[in-house]
Structure 1
Amino acid sequence: MELHIDGPNAPRRRGGRILVVDANPLSLIALAGVLDAEGFECICARSHPAALKAIESQSQDLVVCDVGDDPEAALKLIDDIHGQAAGKDLPSVLIAEARWAGLEQKAQGRTAVHCLFKPIDPASLRAVVEQALWMPHLIGTHRRRGSRPSHNGWLTL
């Protein structure tokens, strides 16, 4: 399912195509709606197989995945996406509840994975998405060196 708003009042597109993965249809539409309102093109998937099919069928710039009740399944999805040629270096944002606070440590070592914890402010989501979309090569370089970016404006997650 693709979410598009067309017409004279359509938001300006920023050029990023985001795969939004969430098993809950209401939060999937809400999350994709926030990103669409910010001008991103969203492709929605409710399951692991649907997300992999979306990666195979169209090029994506970013994956935003709600962890739900199974953080291991979300990390497996990210690994499976990175295992495909089209998703090899695809940056990802995991959205989780506070009870999964150790998720950012489990996600380390994967290509440009960021974690946001609920409740999510749309401005924070936008900032992390923009950083992941437009600076993945810098993040990858720092991870390979074992260092962290220290420039003003970087988010520490």
Structure 2
Amino acid sequence: MEKKRRILVVDDNPVNIRLIKTILEKEGYDTVSATDGPAAIETARAESPDLVLMDIFMGEMSGLDACRLIKEEKETGDIPVIFVTANTDDAVLQKAFESGGSDYVRKPINRVELISRIRSVLTQRMLVEKIVEHEKLQGVLEMAGAVCHEMNQPLQAVTWATELLLGEIPEEDHLFTAVRDITRNIEKIGTITRKLQGITRYKTMKYVGDMKIIDIERASSR
């Protein structure tokens, strides 16, 4: 089941927020809201919405400035912003797009226009995400293929050598246990290389700090 898309609604007029949220929730979207620019930035960080609907003209901080700051941050920079405005002069719209906006809808809100523009922007975002994921996967596949190719021959040689040693060393000898442990660890490495060869999707997990590494278990079909 596809997860609900979450939309952040930003307007300094609570009536406008209620109106837009009612429309969106009837269409099946989850909504969160903020009543000014700083709150919009904080909510975008905390909630990671799929899209932001932002009024341009607000008191403490304009929607243009809030959008610019959202776009500058690593965590929120990919979130698309649609502006809501009663002023559709060319100069205003140019500033809206220059600040990072993806589209705009006019006030008073028209339900059909609002939903159409939201669907269009979300579809564009989904396509971009798929392209990025495909490019990442291609890079991972190329690297995994190279690693497996370079490791297979040395692994086979070490496996053959340890099996030969196990056949020569008496089981009661302490070296037998050590060589057997080496053999088991070589088998584990072989399993990992097979999983690398079976990677079919791009999945990561947290490693140290902000660093992420490929989650081989989730990324591999083997």
Task: Tell me how far apart the structure 2 counterparts of residues 109 and 26 of structure 1 sit (CA, whole Å).
Answer: 28
TM-score between both structures, scaled by the size of structure 1: 0.70
Residue identity (%): 26
CA contact (8 A) 1:112 1:136 kept: no
AA at the equivalent of 1:118? K
AA at the equivalent of 1:119? P
SS in 1 for 2:12: coil
User: 2:108 maps to which residue?
Assistant: 119
Distance 1:112 1:74, change over 3 A: closer
Look at both structures and tell me which one has the larger radius of gyration over its CA atoms: 2
User: 1:55 maps to which residue?
Assistant: 44
CA contact (8 A) 2:9 2:20 kept: yes
- Given candidates 15, 30, 55, the residue that maps to 1:26 is 15
Output one character per residue of 1:40-61: Cα deviation in whole Å (capped at 9) or x when no partner: 1101111122111111212111
User: 1:85 maps to which residue?
Assistant: 74
How far does residue 93 in structure 1 lie from its aligned partner after superposition? 0.8
How far does residue 24 in structure 1 lie from its aligned partner after superposition? 0.5
SS in 2 for 1:85: coil
Coordinate RMSD, CA, aligned? 2.5
CA contact (8 A) 1:14 1:40 kept: no
TM-score between both structures, scaled by the size of structure 2: 0.51
How far does residue 112 in structure 1 lie from its aligned partner after superposition? 5.0
The count of corresponding residues between Structure 1 and Structure 2 is 127
User: 1:106 maps to which residue?
Assistant: 95
Output one character per residue of 1:95-127: Cα deviation in whole Å (capped at 9) or x when no partner: 111365532211234545211122221011000
User: 1:5 maps to which residue?
Assistant: none
AA at the equivalent of 2:72? G
Unaligned runs of 5+ in 1: 1-12, 140-157
- Given candidates 2, 17, 30, the residue that maps to 1:41 is 30
SS in 2 for 1:34: helix
- Given candidates 63, 66, 79, the residue that maps to 1:74 is 63
Output one character per residue of 1:77-99: Cα deviation in whole Å (capped at 9) or x when no partner: 10111112221121111011136
How far does residue 132 in structure 1 lie from its aligned partner after superposition? 0.9
Larger RCO (CA under 8 A, 6+ residues apart) = 1
AA at the equivalent of 2:85? A
Distance 1:102 1:69, change over 3 A: farther
SS in 2 for 1:116: strand
Unaligned runs of 5+ in 2: 129-222
- Given candidates 125, 130, 137, the residue that maps to 1:136 is 125
Distance 1:23 1:117, change over 3 A: same
SS in 1 for 2:9: strand
